[in-house]
Structure 1
Amino acid sequence: MHTKRIIPCLDVKDGKVVKGINFVGLKEVGDPVQLAKQYYEQGADELVFLDITATHEARDTMVDVVKQVAKEIFIPFTVGGGIRTLEDIQKMLHSGADKVSVNSAAIKDSNLIKEGARLFGSQCIVLAVDAKKREDQNGWNVFIHGGRIDTGLDLIDWVKQATDLGAGEILLTSMDADGTKKGFDIELCKAVSKEVLVPVIASGGCGSLEHFKDVFKEEAADAALAASLFHYNELTISQIKTYLKEEGIPVRI
Structure 2
Amino acid sequence: MLRPRIIPCLLVHEGGLVKTVSFKNPKYVGDPINAVKIFNEKESDELIVLDIDATVHGNEPDYKLIADLAAECRMPLCYGGGIRSVAQAKRIISLGVEKIALSAAAIEDPELIARIAEEIGSQSVVVVLDVKKRMLSKEYDVFLHNGRKNTKLNAIEVAQRAAALGAGEIVINSIEHDGQMKGYDLALAQKVRAAVGVPITLLGGAGSLDDVADLIRSCGVVGASAGSLFVFKGAYKAVLINYPTVAQRDALVGRALGWA
1:245 is displaced (CA, Å) by 4.6
Is contact 2:213-2:256 (8 Å) kept?
no
1:111 is displaced (CA, Å) by 1.4
Is contact 1:244-1:250 (8 Å) kept?
no
Deviations 1:132-191 (A, max 9, x none): 000022300000111110001011111111111000001110111111001011111110
Is contact 1:37-1:69 (8 Å) kept?
no
Indicate the residue corresponding to 2:42 in structure 1: 42
Change (3 A) 1:17 1:75: same
- TM-score normalized with structure 2 length: 0.92
Deviating beyond 6 angstroms after TM superposition, the runs of 4 or more aligned structure 1 residues are none
**Which segments of 5 or more consecutive residues in structure 2 lack a partner in the other structure?**
233-239
Indicate the residue corresponding to 2:12 in structure 1: 12
Please give the secondary structure, in 2, of the residue aligned with 1:247.
Answer: helix
Indicate the residue corresponding to 1:91 in structure 2: 91
1:2 is displaced (CA, Å) by 3.2
Change (3 A) 1:75 1:60: same
Please give the secondary structure, in 2, of the residue aligned with 1:194.
Answer: helix
C-alpha RMSD of the superposition: 1.8
Name the count of aligned residue pairs: 251
- TM-score normalized with structure 1 length: 0.94
Indicate the residue corresponding to 2:144 in structure 1: 144
1:234 is displaced (CA, Å) by 7.4
Deviations 1:188-214 (A, max 9, x none): 111011011101101000001110100
Please give the secondary structure, in 1, of the residue aligned with 2:158.
Answer: helix
Change (3 A) 1:77 1:234: closer
Is contact 2:4-2:253 (8 Å) kept?
no
Deviations 1:96-150 (A, max 9, x none): 2111000101111111101111111100110100010000223000001111100
- 1:237 paired with 2:244, answer yes
Matched AA of 1:236:
Y
Counterparts of 1:155-234 in structure 2, within 5 Å, are 155-219=155-219, 222-232=222-232, 233=240
> Hey, what's the Cα distance between the residues in 2 that align with 1:234 and 1:114?
36
Please give the secondary structure, in 1, of the residue aligned with 2:56.
Answer: coil
**Which segments of 5 or more consecutive residues in structure 1 lack a partner in the other structure?**
none
Matched AA of 2:244:
I
Please give the secondary structure, in 2, of the residue aligned with 1:237.
Answer: coil
> Hey, what's the Cα distance between the residues in 2 that align with 1:220 and 1:4?
7
